[in-house]
Amino acid sequence: MLRSRIIGTGSSVPAKVLCNKDFESFVDTTDEWIITRTGIRERHIAENGDCTSTFSYRAALSALEMAGIAADALDLIIVGTISPDMPMPSVACFVQHMLKANRAAAFDLSAGCTGFLYAMSVADAFIRSGMYKKILVIGAETLSKFTDYQDRTTCVLFGDGAGAVVLAAEQGDRGILSTSLYADGAYADLLLIPGGGSLSPVSQESMENRQHYIKMDGNKVFKVAVKSLEEAALAALAQNNLTGKDIDLLVSHQANVRIIDAIAKRLKLPPEKVFMNIERYGNTSAASIPIALDEANRQHRIKKNDLILLDAFGAGLTWGSALIRW
């Protein structure tokens, strides 16, 4: 059977780190509140003009090196992001040029924190259709540029960075077994950046109302996230005639340690089968799964033929899951 196999992973985060204590000096919060409610201790923040394409490029180089292929072997580059360098052109086109991936088509995909899963699912469909053989899929964000550092309910959560995978068409049982994608636009106003688009273009008024920053009703998002992620995970397992016992590692979107714990409990997964790095990166949105996947891979937490469950949830609202035979 023709499948998409991950033949390389990579990631990149900026060097600058903001610790929980740093926030105590400019918003009404505490290290204790942040760590107990979210599991986050520190996050990496862009500086010196670095932006989404910078981290994407570095993550891509590392994934290509592991894959052992040259950039001009790529047929397509997809970047899942909600914080592109600019509204146009796409981050994927900047990365295509930086890599000199001259044969590759390139586009961005917007699905909030589910962006990487959506992008990987689209790439998988291209590969299984026979249209493309090698695809670079990136999840990348510079959410610090869209974060309101006067709003304690959101500013402590987000971090910057990128993760990348190289998918290759291969015959056999290993690779992406299935992906399941979901959306419910009725929940759009729970998590959004209301200003700066065609509805409310940048103006003096929109700037004064801080409309170009992330707004989130975190508690409502939390409740929908737990229920939806459970459903997505169970649907993926059922579709493949598998159960929670078959999973070797859960690599979840890193938004809140309590959400990941709830899913792990529902699937009866012991802690050693749950990958977590939220403590060090915070919520990096579309970058969080590929950064976690790259770390798990490089730490040898994933072995050949392991069954890996990915799940993510984000603005849209969107959510989804993927099962991979490594």
Residues that bind ligand UT7 (CB under 6 A): 29, 33-34, 37-38, 113, 152-153, 156, 218-219, 221-222, 225, 255-256, 259, 283, 313-314
Q: Does residue 84 have a cis peptide bond before it, meaning omega lies within 30 degrees of 0?
A: no
- What are the b/e assignments for 152-180, b being 16+ CB within 10 Å? bebbbbbbbbbbbbbbbbbeeebbbbebb
Name the residue nearer to ligand UT7 (CB basis): 152 or 266.
152
Name the residue nearer to ligand UT7 (CB basis): 8 or 159.
159
> Which single residue is written with the structure tokens 């052992």?
68
Name the residue nearer to ligand UT7 (CB basis): 32 or 272.
32
CA distances from 193 to 196, 208, 214, 281 (A): 8, 14, 5, 21
* Cα–Cα distance for residue pair 104/75, rounded to 1 Å: 4
Residue 253 among the catalytic residues: yes
Tokens of 182: 């979901």
* Cα 304 from chain centroid (whole Å): 23
Q: Does residue 317 have a cis peptide bond before it, meaning omega lies within 30 degrees of 0?
A: yes
Q: Which residue is nearest to ligand UT7 (CB)?
A: 218
CB of 320 to ligand UT7, least distance (A): 13
CB of 282 to ligand UT7, least distance (A): 10
CB of 151 to ligand UT7, least distance (A): 9
Tokens of 119: 């992008």
Catalytic residue among 256, 277, 283, 297: 283
Name the residue nearer to ligand UT7 (CB basis): 290 or 314.
314
Tokens of 296: 């798990």
Residue 19 among the catalytic residues: no
Catalytic residue among 20, 44, 93, 113: 113
Tokens of 276: 């977590």
Catalytic residue among 51, 253, 256, 297: 253
* Cα–Cα distance for residue pair 278/121, rounded to 1 Å: 24
* Cα 220 from chain centroid (whole Å): 21
- Which residues, including other chains, have CB under 8 Å from residue 104's CB and lie 6 or more apart? 71, 74, 75, 76, 77, 96, 136
> Which single residue is written with the structure tokens 């802690």?
271
* Cα–Cα distance for residue pair 144/108, rounded to 1 Å: 19
Query: What 3-state DSSP class applies to 30?
Result: coil
CB of 89 to ligand UT7, least distance (A): 26
Name the residue nearer to ligand UT7 (CB basis): 59 or 229.
229
CB of 214 to ligand UT7, least distance (A): 10
Name the residue nearer to ligand UT7 (CB basis): 89 or 218.
218
CB of 218 to ligand UT7, least distance (A): 3
CB of 189 to ligand UT7, least distance (A): 14
Q: DSSP secondary structure string, 116-138?
A: HHHHHHHHHHHHHHTS-SEEEEE
Q: DSSP secondary structure string, 69-80?
A: --GGG-SEEEEE
Residue 241 among the catalytic residues: no
Catalytic residue set: 113, 253, 283
